[in-house]
Amino acid sequence: MPRHAHQRVSTRPRRSVGATIIGGIGELLLTAGMLVLLFVVYILWGTGIQTAQAQDRLEDELSVQWGELGPDAPAPDPDLLADGDAYGVLRIPRFGDDWEFTIVQGVLADDLARGPGHYPDTANPGELGNVGIAAHRSGHLSPFADFPDLRVGDTIEIEMADGTYVYQLDDAPDGDSDGNKINISDVWVVDPVPGEPRDTEPTERRITLTTCWPRWGSSHRMYATGTLVSGPTG
């Protein structure tokens, strides 16, 4: 045997068990941090891309629906729309001159992933009762990201096949990040007459907007509400 063929002995100090555990925890935390970062990227940009594509399809759907109407043809009945169908166009000047979203019929998760949704069991624009509209504050293009900025006196516009209905808010967060915060179970805000028994006969034409609170969570809800001030026949 060659005389230099002796077993090599490492001179590096051995890591203690504690150091090994700490190192493993550090690697796990780093991996978890990367996963959280990827999730945030998906929420902010990934879902936004999906919603933008869905908005394009909904806009095309409305163009087909409304383009088929003749000069004397009656407007289509929104009550006949199925969940997921294009409903109308929502504009909120407070959020910017170019802020505009196509509304989808329905407020289930798949519906709201496509844009602001109309509560199916609420009134349609111009009708007596309460038009209910919900939308996300984070992800899916974040339509209602600036919801707390809504103020009393702001206008809400909904364009339908027969024209545009304009509502004016009489109750809003008014710049308060906790303003008009309610529990998830407080569905009374979209009742025909908010705060009254559901079978109460409405005498006003109202609108109520709802969204999540806080912006990056959904433990509660926020709302803003108002009355109709103008429309195709008013």
Task: Give the DSSP letter of residue 115.
Answer: S
Active-site residue, 212 included:
yes
As a whole number of angstroms, the distance between CA 214 and CA 216 comes to 6
CB 210 within 8 A of CB 222: yes
Mean pLDDT computed over 192-216: 95
From 118, 140, 212, 220, the catalytic residue:
212
Active-site residue, 4 included:
no
Asked if the model's pLDDT at residue 111 lies above 70, the reply is: yes
What pLDDT was estimated at residue 33?
57
From 6, 118, 136, 140, the catalytic residue:
136
Q: Which of 3-12, 95-104, 130-139 has the lowest mean pLDDT?
A: 3-12
Closest by CA to 47, choosing from 117, 132, 143, 118, is 143
What separation in angstroms does the CA of 165 have from each of 44, 124, 141, 160, 174? 31, 10, 24, 8, 22
As a whole number of angstroms, the distance between CA 220 and CA 31 comes to 31
155-160 and 129-134 beta bridge pairing? unpaired
What pLDDT was estimated at residue 34?
54
Domain 47-230 CATH class label: mainly beta
User: Domain residues of the chain, as ranges?
Assistant: 47-230
Q: What is the pLDDT of residues 140-192, one digit of tens each?
A: 999 999 999 999 999 999 999 999 999 999 999 999 999 999 999 999 999 99
As a whole number of angstroms, the distance between CA 65 and CA 149 comes to 34
Q: Hey, what are 116's tokens?
A: 């602001």
Q: What is the pLDDT of residues 142-152, one digit of tens each?
A: 999 999 999 99
